[in-house]
């Protein structure tokens, strides 16, 4: 009879964050096999998102080392015995994690999960265990830690995707693109003819611009400090762009609209931009804050600010929808992507920080 206490272990390669401001190092780690509700995914590619970079910049050196990465895409390699509806060899994209049992999750709003913070930023499973414990490293970031050759996911953060598109291209759908697109489509439900400004034209902002064009918003104003990104914003759907370094955003938007805008998508996290966004709102307008800040509805004439998580998207529904828009040529997010070898992860992060690359995607293994 098999020894029930013996847990099977996989050897994996993962980029480990040990100290703040130190490069990530690719190390060999021991990862436990999937539990009965988990799925082992061989990672083919992983996007790098600003949240990963923020952790690299702010990691407390006294804390346990961790594996980041939360835009994984790969192939299903092993399936826990209680998982249904997933098959070996399935192509999947990984997204944020949720608990699946709280009131919000049960009512179909996993972005409002009562344990969202622990499930995504706890670096452990919700029961406090950690599949990388033998290597004294913590994983489970966003229920995946995808800067690695393998990741453990659950059905709640796994989305099956068609096999006729390259997995490496689909990786960034799991967080940044879903957030920008979902904010416009789901959270704000921007309609035809509404005026919208997008502060910050990184991956999240550009996804918002592409979807604003799809829903027929007008004008669509992109604001940034990098001319190259503004050029791309215009190609992807911005009707106007404002270079924040040389132009006065407030007076330009007043000139363009004759009044203000109905929506601002604020991705910069800069309090001055935040305040400016509120000042530019039309009555009943909304500022969407995508940087983790909470909202307030105490503004005059029905104006409000709203903190938004993951574009209020249910990944299993929204990611296939975005893939459909991509196939139809309406959501050409491939324009944002630049590929790097897994070993170039530190260069990819540096390029993203400088703004040279909008959406770095690591190639981790072959399909």
Minimum CB distance to Zn ion, residue 195 (Å): 27
CB of 203 to Zn ion, least distance (A): 9
Task: Give whichever of 178 and 257 is closer to Zn ion, judged by the CB atom.
Answer: 178
CA atoms within 13 A on the CB side of 335: 20
14 versus 94: smaller Cβ distance to Zn ion? 94
Sheet strand arrangement including 9-17: 25-32, 9-17, 66-67
CB of 173 vs Zn ion, minimal distance in Å: 11
Choice between 49 and 336, CB closer to Zn ion: 49
Q: Is 111 helix (H, G, I), strand (E, B) or coil?
A: helix
- Backbone φ and ψ of 209, nearest 5°: -65, -45
For Zn ion, the closer CB: 96 or 340 = 96
**Nearest to 198, CA basis, from 289, 298, 282, 259:** 289
**What is the sign of the dihedral through the CA atoms of 247, 248, 253 and 256?**
negative
- Largest Cα separation within the chain, whole Å, is 78
| Tokens, residue 48 | 């790098």
Q: 352: which 2 tokens?
A: 């993203």
Distance in Å, CB of 113 to Zn ion, minimum: 3
- Nearest approach, Cβ of 194 to Zn ion (angstroms)? 26
- Residue with smaller CB distance to Zn ion, 52 or 262: 52
Question: Which residues are CB-contacts of 268 (< 8 A; sequence separation ≥ 6)?
Answer: 199, 200, 291
Q: Are 181 and 322 in contact (CB under 8 A)?
A: yes
State how far the Cα of 131 lies from the Cα of 29, in Å rounded to an integer: 10
Closer residue to Zn ion, CB minimum distance, 86 or 102: 102
Residue ranges binding Zn ion (CB under 5 A): 49, 51, 98-99, 102, 105, 113, 175
């Amino acid at each position: 009879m098999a020894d029930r206490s013996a847990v099977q272990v996989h050897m994996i390669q993962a980029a480990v964050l040990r100290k703040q401001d130190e490069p990530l190092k690719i190390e060999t780690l021991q990862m436990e096999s999937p539990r009965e509700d988990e799925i082992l995914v061989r990672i083919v590619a992983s996007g790098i998102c600003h949240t990963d970079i923020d952790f690299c910049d702010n990691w407390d050196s006294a804390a346990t080392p961790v594996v980041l990465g939360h835009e994984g895409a790969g192939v299903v390699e092993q399936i826990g015995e209680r998982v249904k509806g997933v098959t070996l060899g399935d192509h999947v994209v990984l997204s944020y994690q949720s608990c699946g049992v709280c009131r919000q999750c049960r009512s179909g709003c996993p972005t409002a999960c009562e344990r969202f913070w622990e499930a995504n930023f706890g670096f452990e499973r919700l029961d406090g265990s950690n599949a990388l414990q033998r290597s004294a490293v913590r994983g489970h970031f966003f229920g995946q830690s995808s800067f690695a050759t393998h990741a453990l996911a659950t059905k709640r953060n796994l989305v099956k995707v068609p096999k006729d598109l390259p997995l490496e291209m689909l990786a960034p759908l799991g967080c940044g693109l879903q957030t920008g697109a979902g904010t416009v489509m789901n959270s704000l439900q921007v309609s035809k003819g509404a005026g919208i400004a997008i502060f910050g034209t990184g991956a999240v902002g550009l996804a918002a611009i592409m979807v604003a064009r799809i829903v027929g918003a007008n004008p669509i104003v992109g604001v940034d400090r990098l001319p190259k990104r503004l050029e791309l914003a215009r190609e992807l759907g911005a009707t106007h762009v404002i270079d924040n370094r040389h132009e006065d955003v407030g007076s330009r938007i007043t000139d363009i609209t004759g009044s203000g805008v109905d929506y601002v998508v604020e991705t910069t996290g800069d309090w001055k931009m935040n305040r400016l966004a509120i000042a530019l709102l039309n009555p009943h307008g909304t500022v969407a804050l995508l940087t983790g800040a909470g909202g307030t509805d105490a503004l005059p004439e029905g104006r409000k600010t709203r903190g938004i998580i993951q574009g209020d998207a249910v990944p299993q529904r929204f990611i296939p929808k975005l893939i459909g828009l991509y196939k139809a040529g309406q959501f050409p997010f491939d324009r944002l992507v630049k590929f790097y070898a897994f070993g170039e992860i530190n260069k990819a992060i540096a390029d993203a920080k400088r703004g040279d690359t909008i959406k770095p995607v690591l190639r981790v293994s072959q399909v």
